[in-house]
Chains A and B, each alone.
Chain A
Amino acid sequence: MSWFARLKSRLSKSSGKIHRGLVSFVTGGVLDEAGRQELEDTLIAADFGVTQAAALSLAVAKRHRGQDVSPETLTQSLRDVLTDTLSVHARPLVVPAVSGPAVFFLVGVNGNGKTTSAGKLAAYFQGLGVRVALVAADTFRAAAVDQLRVWAQRAGVPLYEGKDKQDPASLVYESYARAKAEGIQLMLVDTAGRLHTKQDLMESLGKMVRVMKKQDDTAPHEVILVLDATTGQAAHTQAKLFKDHAGITGLIVTKLDGTARGGVVVALSSDYALPVFMIGVGESLEDLQPFDPKEYAEALI
């Protein structure tokens, strides 16, 4: 089964709802204000947030002002509007051509799937023929290193780990030199989960980024915020503060295999100019896949 088919089947429960809903919005062939508000509510229920849901539903309504529309046309319109919004900042996650190893950081709050994503991402790039190393920079959470070690074995890539309670910034610094010596092309750094509201922890993340720049001032080449699809509107401050402190460059959305639709990423993408790089749709190693706005829109609606 292709990931798209899988995503579609996973989202089918919700997608059915949005699609069915669209039929009932159209009264007498015209999308009136009541219908538009229904549409807005449906999007809110998918975590788009009040502002984004209003903007998208208004954009759809504007396309069909005063015209007769069928539910099919409306469905297509909504998909188009959504695809357009997500495409503005879309770009694929690729390993840049740099002299030393490229460096990607995975950051985010606790429990959103950073370590799992790091493992899957390692397997993904390894599969593309890139020489990858994983860096276990989560020296805080109990057994986090053990967890990543298992993923490194599954993906067949080396794991760089520090001494117990070693400062993650110093580990990252050492790891870069090691990666360079060992001819690694991509260094994936799994950082400790931290709440964006914890000032000191956010500053220590900023320190890791600064230390990296001492080795290579273009590094880290990507700082990826891993976001749990079940997250609601608190994702806004998450994105803002991780951008402020660590300069995030894109998103990975995990746990899209549940019933959560992750609508908040649409607002995040446009508000903070962030591409969605990858999405997680399952538990196995290959269930992290590149994100395609059009396919996402089709699976969702």
Chain B
Amino acid sequence: MIFSSIEFLFFLPVVFAVYWLLRRHLRWQNLFVVVASYFFYGWWDWRFLFLIAFTSACSFGAGLWIDRNLSAGRTRQAHWISAANVVLNLGVLFVFKYYNFFAQSLSDAFTFLGHPLDLRPLSIVLPVGISFYTFQAIGYSIDVFKGKMPAVRDVVAFFAYVSFFPQLVAGPIERASNLIPQFGRQRTLTSDDALEGLRQMLWGFFKKMVVADTCAVPVVHVFSDPGLYSGSTVLLAVLLFHFQIYGDFSGYSDIAIGTARLFGIRLMRNFDVPYFSRNIAEYWRRWHISLSNWFRDYVYFPLGGSRLGNAKTVRNMLALFLLSGLWHGAAWTYVIWGGLHAVFTLASRFTGHGGKYAEVVAAGRLLPSWREVGQMLGMTLLLQIGWVFFRNATLHDALHYFSCMAVPSILTVPRFLGIANVNAIFALAFILIMMVTEWLHRERAHGLDFPSAVPGWVQGLFCAFLLALIYWFGVDDAAFIYFQF
């Protein structure tokens, strides 16, 4: 089921009502979360429910087993069980997501070397959100092994943790230590929580249904045949994709966090105004935070992080970003996207431009300094290069895209064809609304987290305006980009 579908409009109130009716029966309430979540996921394809159940059962069992061995002082066995669980989960992910990619790449490589190799592709569907819940399950068993949390003994709470419907298919990738304890205690809902959740959902729906889906029209047109357009139009299409993917993914996260809040559950923040970053390191602390943290804690730090000298820092950084690229999709363009970000990050680190910014840009001020404006524009430009690889299906397409940009017509006024031209104008207007709102609220939890100084009627009027935009301009049923990951 998709958040922006009519079905969800009916699903949510029913689940909400039953959930709070069961508030005095924690176990039944958790069981209901599992049932509702499986229904939510099964609406897309019920067969893959077995896969989630399998992943959940393996990690739950592994957690108990690791705990028992650790208690008995058998650290080595515990280590092997944890590793086996990781391999098992990654194996499932490999079969469903990466087998065809590697088989094709190997075949191509052997053919190139003059030894044709026939590795037949598997005819399977990629289960929605498999990377998200697999990483969540893996993270749990590692945390138990490292003693960061005790093994969960309540199977229902654990299944609820893996399958909790607001964040099941596109994150945030929650930490077991944050989410599982919440399923272990009585949840409460206050009026403020409910209003905050609803506001964040509204902001997410605006970003997804209005901003992202309007950007999608010109983006699809140009990326499908960039040769038809002027260089400036091709460049503008990348910029629109820049905002499309942000609206799409951060919109999803806002809806997920807002929805969870209606159920008395606090999810972690996944986006913290990343497009107002001043350098690449700050960007990665603000973009898809839950994934960045996951890779940092389970890949980068275990490899030694940046504590083992420059050569190993380079190696670790490359591993971090290349894996992150591969996580996004089974294609070389994603790997290159990850590699580019590694290069950007290393370059900024070794040239002394990777300074850590503790606070958001222009904290306590209305406007940024000229230097900050320059830094943010520079970052935007840098990100565009990566997005060209990210959005194109093949390396050849990406290079062709760049070649369509590097022409004299890059200095002309951009112009899309037919209906896409109008959609680009709408998109730019909506982007302006989104970015100005986020700028004004960049020190707060989300775009509609108004400071108390803003009068209630102004807040209400702005929310009504957004609701009207969603109603008039919103595209329903359009899938979220990150579902495919």
Note whether A and B form a binding pair: no
Chain A residues engaging chain B, CB cutoff 8 angstroms: none
